[in-house]
Amino acid sequence: MKSEEIKQMVKEKYSAIALQEEGDTSSCCGATCSSDEIYNIMTDDYTGVEGYHKEADLALGCGLPVQFAKIKKGDVVLDLGSGAGNDCFVARAETGAEGKVIGVDMTEAMIERARANAEKLGYNNVEFRLGDIEHLPLTKESVNVIVSNCVLNLVPDKQKAFSEMFRVLKAGGHFSVSDIVLKDELPAELLTVAEMYAGCISGAVLLDDYLKMIKDAGFENITVQKQKKVIVPDDILEKYLNADAVQKFKSVGEGILSITVFAEKTKSCCDGNCCS
């Protein structure tokens, strides 16, 4: 698929999720491809996490990036792909009333749902902006910390996304991102499946390539803070692979990982070439 086709498909999938009633979601990345098995492929448990509000949790994540983000009181925090506001509200508990949290999402229905949640909670220092991660609606060097939860794998031009992250971070700022990456190449049959892309599988890239893109964007002190294996249930694989291919995938591959990555911007944007 072309870049714009991918974005449109993701918008449609996630708009449908945003319009669902609370508790009416089930899918790969939390909400896009159903399975007859009882399972939860990626999501981590937010129970007991300060700032967590169940009504803002659509079970779309693959980690707990805010937990690793080293947010300080008064920080300006940016959440990429903010959905219904779940990680923004958790980040607000870290940055405090004196800080600010900005959520960016390209899906209008998600922005509306997140704003309604913030209004209900009475949070006047949490803002949601409609925007594209490849062209962030923020000025350069305007945030201290970036978080994101299972979203960058959906972005067609990931290198551009990391460059935009570098642009909007202040010197000395950092990010903590949970995402899906691959240890092994996926079978060709899975790479072209829109459902698997929206479920955060087909859009994933190899771990080494992912880390290289972060480095190439100018970040330093890159650290994988957490990783766990993602098991795709047989009844999903069998929709796209024959029996032999399923067994081969499970024996040699199945190298799908949920990771949380940390990296720092140690130099000013204008020390490099990202000021345009």
CATH number at residue 204: 3.40.50.150
- The yes-or-no verdict on residue 22 having pLDDT over 60 is no
Q: How far is 241 from 254, CA to CA, in rounded Å?
A: 13
For the chain, the average pLDDT equals 86
- The yes-or-no verdict on residue 147 having pLDDT over 60 is yes
- The yes-or-no verdict on residue 31 having pLDDT over 90 is no
- Mapping DSSP onto H, E and C, the string for 92-120 reads HHHHCCCCEEEEEECCHHHHHHHHHHHHH
- The yes-or-no verdict on residue 2 having pLDDT over 50 is yes
pLDDT number for residue 72? 98
Here the tokens at position 266 are 């140690």
Mean pLDDT of 15-26: 68
Q: Which residue has the higher pLDDT, 267 or 118?
A: 118
C-alpha distances in angstroms, 184 versus 16, 114, 155, 216, 241?
31, 36, 20, 22, 17
Residue 125 counted as domain residue:
yes
pTM value is 0.88
Q: How far is 257 from 273, CA to CA, in rounded Å?
A: 32
Residue 241 counted as domain residue:
yes
Residue 172 counted as domain residue:
yes
The structural domain count of the chain equals: 1
Q: 93-97, 125-129, 133-137, 152-156: which has the minimum mean pLDDT? A: 152-156
For 60-74, what is each residue's pLDDT tens digit?
Answer: 888 999 999 999 999
Q: One-letter amino acid identity for 85? A: G
- Residue-number span of the structural domain to which 119 is assigned: 3-264
Here the tokens at position 43 are 């999501």
Mean pLDDT of 132-161: 96
pLDDT number for residue 32? 44
Residue 274 counted as domain residue:
no
Cβ-in-10-Å burial (0-12, 13-18, 19+) of 175 comes to: buried
Q: How far is 178 from 258, CA to CA, in rounded Å?
A: 7
Residue 43 counted as domain residue:
yes
Helix (H, G, I), strand (E, B) or coil at 175: strand
Residue 275 counted as domain residue:
no
φ/ψ (deg, to 5) at 226:
-160, 145
Residue 270 counted as domain residue:
no
C-alpha distances in angstroms, 260 versus 147, 193, 228, 239?
10, 25, 9, 29
Strand residues in 65-209 grouped as ranges (E): 76-80, 100-105, 126-130, 143-149, 169-182
Q: Which residue has the higher pLDDT, 13 or 188?
A: 13
Picking from 90, 83, 101, the residue whose alpha carbon sits closest to that of residue 11 is 83
The residue with tokens 């996926």 is: 186
Residue 272 counted as domain residue:
no
Residue 204 in contact with residue 193, Cβ under 8 Å? no
pLDDT number for residue 250? 77
Identity of the highest mean pLDDT range in 1-10, 47-56, 73-82: 73-82
Q: Which helix (H) or strand (E) holds 259?
A: strand 256-264
Contacts of 247 (CB under 8 A, 6+ apart): none
Here the tokens at position 106 are 């390209």
Q: How confident is the model at residue 276 (pLDDT cuts 50, 70, 90)?
A: very low
Q: 41-45, 123-127, 213-217: which has the minimum mean pLDDT? A: 41-45
Q: Which helix (H) or strand (E) holds 87?
A: helix 86-95
Strand partners, 27: none
What one-character-per-residue DSSP string does 38-66 give? ---SSPPP-TT-TT--GGG--S--SS-GG
